[in-house]
Amino acid sequence: MTARYARVVVDSRLPQLDRLFEYRVPPALEGVAPGVRVRVPLRGDRTAAGYVVEVADARAWEGEVADIEAVVSPVPVLRPEVWALARAVADRAAGGAADVLRVAIPGRQARVEKAWLARAAEGAAAEAAEPAATEGAELTETDASPEPDAPPESPAPLEPDDASAPLLPGLVEARRKVALECAGGVAEVPVAGGGTAWVGRWAVALAGLARQAVERGEQAILVVPDHREQRQLRLALEAAVGEERVVELDARQRNPERYAGFLRCVDGGGLAIIGPRSAVYAPAADLGLLVVWEDGDPLLAEPLSPWVHARDAALVRQGQTGCALVIAGHARSTDAERLVEVGFLEHERVGAHRVRVLPTALADDGRRVPAAAFHAAREALASRPVLVQVARPGHAPGLRCGDCGTRARCAACGGPLGQRTRGGQPGCRLCGRLAAAWRCPSCHGIRLVEVGRGSTRIAEELGRAIPGVPVVVADGEHERLTIDARPRIVVATRGAEPVADGGYGAVLLLDGDSLLAREGLRVAEEAVRQWATARALAAEGATVVLAGVIGPTVGALTGDTTVPFAKAELAERRSLRFPPAVRTASVVGHPDAVAEALEALAGIEHLDVLGPVPAEGAPGDRLERAIVRFAYADGAHVAGVARGRVLAAAARPRKPGAPPRLRIRLDDPEPFDGL
């Protein structure tokens, strides 16, 4: 019998193992096929999990070849398109493909696999029996059945309005690439089992785009920042394409439920796949549409190595598949604007949202709620709920010494102290440790004074100022996804605003001054995005009050579009050579390793280096950090050199448990947070 050989990607975090390893397939071992999970030997008596990437009859490695130990599962979970994407985004980010696959493929669930394999066997048996059953029979028109791969009849389309009318017809068929700015507002959609639900009009618009792909028998992947947007989009998709054609992939799901959804994607067919940032890697052999909603949201940035942003992964996947691509949001990000200006994306805008935006300075007496906001709230409360967006949760976001004014900090970790409720024990906002016995390190005083107002404190003050009106809080500790249309005041932190039936009668955006007072490259851009998201929840004709803000950011919210603001932001960063006008890489490690990496990168044209400067590390470690700025055209060259230097540093001996001698992160936003 001719020997067969399998090339396997090993599930390891070691950079030196980021390549395909060749193994012999033992003659008695069955089920070795591309995509399946296997267990393979490493050096000595160690073994590792991995995925078969390809199987061949000829060997490519001339040295000694070990045997595959076992097939963990016969299900081909690593699809060819997912492997190609993982390899490409890892190379772009100078990282390892196994790290990407760890995000892309959920953990195995044996019972779910068993049921999936049984259904697959039944389907194969039925398909094999069908020709025999119909052999010699003459089909009549009434006997005929749809083609096996044809999608079921879609439900009737939603009644069109300003936002749900046919959006960009032919976008999927033409494989267009669009930067889409969606106007605000809410819409009512039917739900399974009867009844209706209110969602953002943006969700209805994107569901209409996904329907174009599903009706062609293709897959649509829609990536959202978190479960709030995911819920709205799921309801809109179920109304547009049917519940059976919608698959959710989310780490918040139970493991069996998530794995079952993943295997449903492996089956293929016309599907709408939705989820957070990891959904961009979902199996989709016939991908027709890829959507990233609110690409400027920090939640779409992967916190694990190689730290690939969902937008960047989407751009790579579009280049590989040629699918239609939509980067959408209520506000245009500078990253999307750059892609428009270089001609990669087309600009489009959909919908109309008629609201009145009133920018106002803080009252002279320092009140957080200006008189104009009180007036708008009282008028709206006659018939609708009112949304009040605030910056921080809890009662008092900060505390200081009542004697000398020193900021109160945690004795354990140095984090700021705050109070969650009136009269509650002070606690650390970072580690959560209580500080009942706090004593000022400067004057030894024990009296604490509140600094700032959190969501619960503002809710108390509004309840006293407008008596007789219910006040509810929506923040990280008090989650509310929806509220009905009854008049009430909803105090919500940014990103936690619930959707109101029919929209809010007024939206009050407080703490704008403190939001813009932070330091960071994207502070103004992020503020505009968060304000635009809250504005989108207002009903038609509602009043939106923006308190305590002056300058160009006001124009971004009061105008019909945020594009001019994004253009101005991008132009300023281009003049300063800051992202996203250029790409960056942070080089962190031992001084000699950093110096060697910078020397290797020095020959690249249009590359400049900031630093190195001392970097934070474990006690006793002497670390440095440098920032490298380079053009997008040089990205592949920089990533290749960076990967080589990381591998060289990893090959050197180091103490057990010691951090890597060198770490290079491409497109790292952290160095610019304090700008």
The residue with greater pLDDT, 425 or 674, is 425
Please give the angle made by the CA atoms of 140, 141 and 142, to the nearest 5 degrees: 90
Contacts of 444 (CB under 8 A, 6+ apart): none
Provide the β-strand partners of residue 500. Answer: 483
Residue 190 pLDDT: 96
Q: Which helix (H) or strand (E) holds 428?
A: strand 427-428
With a cut of 80, say whether residue 131 has pLDDT above it: no
SS3 of residue 431 by DSSP: coil
Tell whether the torsion through CA atoms of 105, 108, 111 and 113 is positive or negative.
Answer: positive
pLDDT above 90: percentage of residues in the chain: 64
Give CA–CA dist 225/482, Å, rounded: 18
Q: Which of 375, 382, 373 is nearest to 486 (CA)?
A: 382
With a cut of 80, say whether residue 173 has pLDDT above it: yes
The residue with greater pLDDT, 411 or 11, is 11
Confidence of residue 153 (pLDDT cuts 50, 70, 90): very low
Residue 276 pLDDT: 97
pLDDT digits (tens, 9 = 90+) for 158-167: 443 444 445 8
The residue with greater pLDDT, 488 or 655, is 488
Q: Is the peptide bond before 306 cis (omega within 30 degrees of 0)?
A: yes
With a cut of 50, say whether residue 363 has pLDDT above it: no
Candidate from 271-285, 366-380, 494-508 with smallest mean pLDDT? 366-380
Contacts of 341 (CB under 8 A, 6+ apart): 567, 570
- Residue 80 CB neighbour total at 10 angstroms: 14
The mean predicted confidence, pLDDT, of the chain is 88
Residue 660 identity (one-letter amino acid): P
Candidate from 440-454, 462-476, 493-507 with smallest mean pLDDT? 440-454
Residue 133 pLDDT: 53
Residue 403 pLDDT: 82
Residue 580 pLDDT: 96
Give CA–CA dist 153/353, Å, rounded: 33
The residue with greater pLDDT, 476 or 462, is 462
Give CA–CA dist 225/295, Å, rounded: 8
Give CA–CA dist 421/440, Å, rounded: 22
pLDDT digits (tens, 9 = 90+) for 223-269: 999 999 999 999 999 999 999 999 999 989 999 999 999 999 999 99
If you average pLDDT over residues 527-538, what whole number do you get?
A: 96
Residue 143 pLDDT: 36
Pairing of strands 398-401, 219-223: unpaired
Longest Cα separation, the chain: 98
Q: Which two tokens stand for residue 173?
A: 């068929």
If you average pLDDT over residues 574-590, what whole number do you get?
A: 95
If you average pLDDT over residues 610-636, what whole number do you get?
A: 87
Confidence of residue 396 (pLDDT cuts 50, 70, 90): low
Helices (H), 352-430: 371-380
Give CA–CA dist 294/206, Å, rounded: 12
With a cut of 90, say whether residue 620 has pLDDT above it: no
Residue 194 pLDDT: 84
Contacts of 561 (CB under 8 A, 6+ apart): 181, 332, 349
Residue 301 pLDDT: 95
Residue 136 pLDDT: 46
The residue with greater pLDDT, 592 or 43, is 592
Confidence of residue 471 (pLDDT cuts 50, 70, 90): very high
30 CB-contact burial (10 Å; exposed 0-12 / middle 13-18 / buried 19+): exposed
If you average pLDDT over residues 387-397, what whole number do you get?
A: 82
pLDDT above 70: percentage of residues in the chain: 92
Pairing of strands 219-223, 287-293: parallel
Confidence of residue 321 (pLDDT cuts 50, 70, 90): very high
The residue with greater pLDDT, 374 or 429, is 374
pLDDT digits (tens, 9 = 90+) for 81-117: 999 999 999 999 999 999 999 999 999 999 999 999 9
Q: Which of 502, 454, 511, 501 is nearest to 480 (CA)?
A: 501
Confidence of residue 634 (pLDDT cuts 50, 70, 90): very high
Give CA–CA dist 91/378, Å, rounded: 56
Residue 140 pLDDT: 38
Q: Which of 397, 376, 395, 392 is nearest to 489 (CA)?
A: 376
**Phi, psi of 21, rounded to the nearest 5 degrees:** -110, 140
- Residue 226 CB neighbour total at 10 angstroms: 17
Residue 166 pLDDT: 57
DSSP for residue 8: E
Confidence of residue 364 (pLDDT cuts 50, 70, 90): very low
Distances (CA, A) of 340 to 179, 533, 563: 7, 22, 11
The residue with greater pLDDT, 448 or 133, is 448
Residue 362 pLDDT: 53
If you average pLDDT over residues 56-69, what whole number do you get?
A: 87
Residue 132 pLDDT: 54
